[in-house]
A and B are shown apart, each in its own frame.
Chain A
C-alpha cells in the first residue's frame, strides 16, 4: 500500500492555516509528527509526498520532514509537485545524510535525487513492487497513481 501525503494540507492542519511556507524547525516537526501519526505504527514501504501548494521550503524543514521520515518511517519516498527551490533544499539535506528520494517530474517520469549508490536501489525497489516500470524512452514512470 502506498501512503499518500498532501504536504500543504498537513501544513495547514498543523500550524496556523494562513501559512503556505514550510519554514522553521518547529513547523517542520509539527508537520512530520502529523504525518507519522497518519502512517501509524511501523514503517511505510512507499509514501508519495505531494508538495503542490507549498511556497518556500527551507533547509530546516526539509531536514525535519524529508530526511527524518526517510531515516525512521518510510523506506521509499516519492516526491511530487516539487519546485526547483524545493529541490535545492531537499537535495542539500539528502546529501548530508547520504539518503535518496524519487521525484516524479511534471511529465510523469521518475528521477532519483541523492547519492547514486542509494538512488539506484530505489528504482529497483519500486519495480520489484510493481509500482514503477521502465518506459519506452528508457526512463521510469509509476504504474499506479
Chain B
C-alpha cells in the first residue's frame, strides 16, 4: 500500500509544517510514500530543498524509491525544472508526469540552482558560483552594498558547512531572488539549505544533553547552536559560523530560521511577526535552514 503526502499548493517555510505532518504520518508504517505535488502552484527554494530531503529520507534503506507526481501546471513544472529541482529529484524519486528535461538554466532570479552539498569541495563550488552570479543582482535588485556580497557568500558557506560537518549525509542548497508580495511586498533574496541527516539534537547530544537536563530536546539543541554558539566539537572557536550569519543578517535586517526534528528557531527581524522558538512540530528528519534578506530601501526594509 502507498502512503500519500500532499505537497502544499503554496509550499514555503510557513506551509512546511503541514507537509511535515503528512510526511511523519506516512513514514510511520514503512509503506511506500507518494509525494503528490500535482496541485502545487508555487514553491519557495525552502519548499523544494525540503521536498528533496523528504525524498531522501523516504527512500533510505528501502527497496523502492518514493513516488512523486509533477505539478500539473506547466509553468510550475517548468520553473521547478529551471531551478534544478527535477535534476536532483530524478535520483531520489520515481517521477510521474511531464516536465522539461533540460538541465537547470541560471537565470536572473535563480542565483544558485538546487545544488547538492556532500563535501567541502561542494561548498567551494557553491561559494565560487554565487560570487560570479549574484553580486550584480544583490546590488541592483536587493539594494545590498556591493561590499556585502562577500558577506553573503560567507553566510552561504557557513550554512552549507553545517551539512558537511553535522548532518552525516548530503543535502541541498538553492538561492533565489523574488518579489515577496504576500508577506513583505519587497524583493527578497533567500538561501535555503536542507538535509535529512541526524539533526541538531543528535549532533549536540553527547556534549550538551546533561547541561540542559530535562529541557533537552530539539528546541534546546537549536537554542544552544544558534543563540549560544555551541558546537559538537570541543575546540575553542567552533560554533562561530551561525553566530557569523546572525551578525551579517543583523546588519541587513535579514531573518534566519532553522527547523530540526520537532522544533524551529528564528531570529526575527522587526518587519516579521514570526515566533522565535516553536516546539512540538511534526517530526521531520535532519535540518532545514532559511536565510532571507529583504530589499533595502532608504536603508531599512
Contact = CB atoms under 8 A, between A and B. Distances in A.
Interface string A1-42: 000000000000001100111011111000000000000000
Interface string B122-156: 01100110010000000000000001001101100
B250 to A, nearest CB: 12
B157 A68 contact: no
Interface string A49-61: 0000001111110
Interface of B: 120-121, 123-124, 127-128, 131, 147, 150-151, 153-154, 157-158, 161, 164-165, 236-238, 240-241, 243-244, 247-248
A141 B244 CA distance: 31
B23 to A, nearest CB: 31
B124 A85 contact: no
A93 interface: yes
A59 B150 contact: no
Contact of A21 (B127, B147, B236): B127
A142 B151 CA distance: 30
Please indicate which of the listed interface residues A20, A25, A27, A58 has the most CB atoms of chain B within 10 Å of its own CB.
A58
A128 B161 CA distance: 42
Contacts of A23: 123-124, 127, 153-154, 157, 161
Contacts of A88: 151, 154, 247-248
Contacts of B161: 23-25, 58, 60
B153 A96 contact: no
Given A92-B243, A92-B247, A57 B236 contact: no
A52 to B, nearest CB: 15
Please indicate which of the listed interface residues B128, B147, B243 has the most CB atoms of chain A within 10 Å of its own CB.
B128
Contact of B154 (A63, A89, A97): A89
Contacts of A47: none
20 contacts: A19-B124, A23-B127, A23-B154, A24-B157, A25-B120, A55-B128, A55-B150, A56-B127, A56-B154, A58-B241, A59-B244, A60-B158, A68-B237, A84-B147, A88-B248, A89-B244, A93-B240, A96-B236, A96-B240, A97-B237
A55 B124 CA distance: 11
